[in-house]
Amino acid sequence: MRKHLMGFTVVIVAALALLSCGGSSTSQMGTPPAGSGQLALMGTDAPVCGVASFDVTITSATLTPQGGGTPVSVMDSSNPATVDFASLMGFNTLLNLGSVPAGTYSQVTFTFMPNPSLTVFEGTPPAPTDISATLTQTTVTANIKPALQVTANGSSGLTLDFQLFQSIQTDPNTGQVTGQVDPAIRVIPAVITTASGLGELDDLDGIVETVTNTSSNSSFTGSFTLRVRNKRTFQVNVANNTKFEGVSGLSGLNQGMFVEVDAKVDPDGNILAKDVESETDTDATTAAFVGPVLSVTRDSNGNATQLTQFVRAEHPDVSTTVPLRSVVTVNLSPSAGFRIATLGADLSAFLFNASAIARGQHVVVHGPFTGGSTPTVTGNLIVLRPQPALGNALASPSPVVGSDGKTGGYYLAPCNPLFQNQTVNVVTFYSTFFNGLTDLNSLDNTSVYLNRGFLLYTTTSGSLNGLSWTAPAYVFPAYVVRKLNLP
């Protein structure tokens, strides 16, 4: 989904992010038994501003046949999935790959652990605060609309939307999060096509465990296994047209290397990599920490020397030393490298360096770490990743609209407390995908818009596609602009 963002050609598809699953066995669907079809169970979420993290564990899931009958297991307690739904604003994650009997299913039932982990941003400046959370119900049944069709030897998908904006309860007088979570889930069947597969696996990242330079499948040239969050391992297949960045090819990958992958699930249930970007090696003392920047300390020249980061994920799992949802202090080494995880996109018009890192950016910090009351990381490499930007379109200044209706941009009032009310300049292109609205001409200043792209920070005033800004400024090249229908 990050292909040719600037230049400016973007291939926009239904996004999937393979981020977190439970269990520890290698997941590869293969050919299902006769009379069964393959099912990809996914998770997504509608956004809530101010919620930094919401981790909940799904212990089981069953499908109920249309018209009644014995429920069919999709997930069981031996292989639970823990998901941070707050990190899925505008993205999806793959929860499970498996086979189920062919048929039509009208309901799905999920069972959750009763005590999720909930963290919100509070205070000025905003800081992550843990909230004691409880689910009001741990077993939830939802209707599948339209009904899910599973065909023998075919592939199907089902998306779980936790709808945090409805599920997380707030005090009607103060607006503060109470800790009560009433799951308001909905489920949506997904379509698999031969042309695009199940969809794009966006932000699939983890640690390489093994590399195989051959394949019994003539469509692939080899594969590697990738350990993602919560220790599940997936087999990622490679074809002749798979592109590699940072390494010469499949043989350049090695055990312990942290990589980001742009991939898809094909109709046969195989994960096929389109782009593989290598970042750095990890080991028992060096890890990759993923999450937003909370604050930045700069020298007299404006270059960052230190930052703090909220840890949403880490690779490998070093949570006994650096707990998830903790705040780490990152000391930037003088030789620290800065990169953008473009996976083929051309962002050469923008800088990301020690002067262009800022609060609110979603980054991966690579380096050695220490624990204690204040975990510390020596940042040897900082990688900027795609992220969402949520808020309202400002009425003034007015949007800039090109002759095609899409090239231009608008000024966003973000609701994320990390931005501290600073405007985000959303730049759009002729290939930006508009979801829920036709183009920039359809913007209004009362609706909520979810943008997906890259959050860049600049100390230089400028303009792009007719949209201008005054430094210091956040500039957000967007490959998706989505109008949300919130209650």
Dihedral sign, Cα of residue 274, residue 280, residue 281, residue 287: negative
Q: 196: pLDDT confidence band, cut at 50, 70 and 90?
A: low
In this prediction, residues 369-384 reach a mean pLDDT of 94
Q: Check pLDDT > 50 for residue 32.
A: no
pLDDT at 26: 44
Q: What is the SS3 assignment for 331-393?
A: EEEEEEEEEECCCCCCCCCCCCCCCCCCCCCEEEEEEEEECCCCCEEEEEEEEECCEEEEEEE
Q: Check pLDDT > 90 for residue 296.
A: yes
As a whole number, the mean pLDDT across the chain is 86
Q: What six digits make up the tokens of 348? A: 């050469």
Please tell me the CATH code under which domain 201-281 is placed.
Answer: 2.40.50.140
pLDDT at 322: 96
Fold of 286-384: OB fold (Dihydrolipoamide Acetyltransferase, E2P) (2.40.50)
Q: What whole-number percentage of the chain has pLDDT above 70?
A: 87
Q: Check pLDDT > 50 for residue 22.
A: no
Q: 70: pLDDT confidence band, cut at 50, 70 and 90?
A: very high
Q: Check pLDDT > 60 for residue 364.
A: yes
Q: What is the DSSP letter of 217?
A: S
Segment 471-487, tens digit of pLDDT = 999 999 998 999 987 66
Segment 272-285, tens digit of pLDDT = 898 898 888 888 88
Segment 434-458, tens digit of pLDDT = 999 999 999 999 999 999 899 999 9
> What is the reported pTM?
0.85
pLDDT at 92: 67
Q: What is the DSSP letter of 45?
A: B
Distance set, CA 206 to CA 16, 37, 104, 320 (Å)? 15, 28, 35, 18
In this prediction, residues 354-359 reach a mean pLDDT of 96
Q: Which contiguous run of DSSP H or E holds residue 165?
A: helix 164-167
Q: Check pLDDT > 70 for residue 268.
A: yes
In this prediction, residues 101-119 reach a mean pLDDT of 95
Segment 317-351, tens digit of pLDDT = 899 999 999 999 999 988 999 998 875 566 777 88
Q: 47: pLDDT confidence band, cut at 50, 70 and 90?
A: low
In this prediction, residues 45-62 reach a mean pLDDT of 87
How long, in residues, is the chain? Answer: 487
Q: 265: pLDDT confidence band, cut at 50, 70 and 90?
A: confident
Segment 128-166, tens digit of pLDDT = 999 999 999 999 999 999 999 998 887 788 888 888 888
pLDDT at 422: 94
In this prediction, residues 258-281 reach a mean pLDDT of 85
95-99, 417-421, 438-442, range with the lowest pLDDT: 95-99
Cα–Cα dist 379/163, whole Å: 35
pLDDT at 141: 96
Q: 21: pLDDT confidence band, cut at 50, 70 and 90?
A: very low
Domain definitions of the chain by residue range: 31-190, 201-281, 286-384, 387-484
pLDDT at 252: 95
Q: 226: pLDDT confidence band, cut at 50, 70 and 90?
A: very high
Q: Check pLDDT > 50 for residue 23.
A: no
Cα–Cα dist 331/382, whole Å: 11
In this prediction, residues 94-99 reach a mean pLDDT of 79
pLDDT at 61: 95
pLDDT at 211: 97
Q: 82: pLDDT confidence band, cut at 50, 70 and 90?
A: confident
pLDDT at 344: 57
Mention every residue, 6+ apart, whose C-beta is less than 8 A from residue 44.
Answer: 88, 91, 92, 93, 159, 160, 161, 162
Cα–Cα dist 302/1, whole Å: 33
Cα–Cα dist 279/260, whole Å: 8
In this prediction, residues 54-61 reach a mean pLDDT of 93
pLDDT at 6: 38
Q: What six digits make up the tokens of 377? A: 């990381």
Q: 383: pLDDT confidence band, cut at 50, 70 and 90?
A: very high
Q: Check pLDDT > 80 for residue 105.
A: yes
pLDDT at 41: 82
CB-CB contact of 201 with 269 (8 Å): no
Give the residue carrying structure tokens 């949802």: 325
Q: 194: pLDDT confidence band, cut at 50, 70 and 90?
A: low
pLDDT at 380: 95
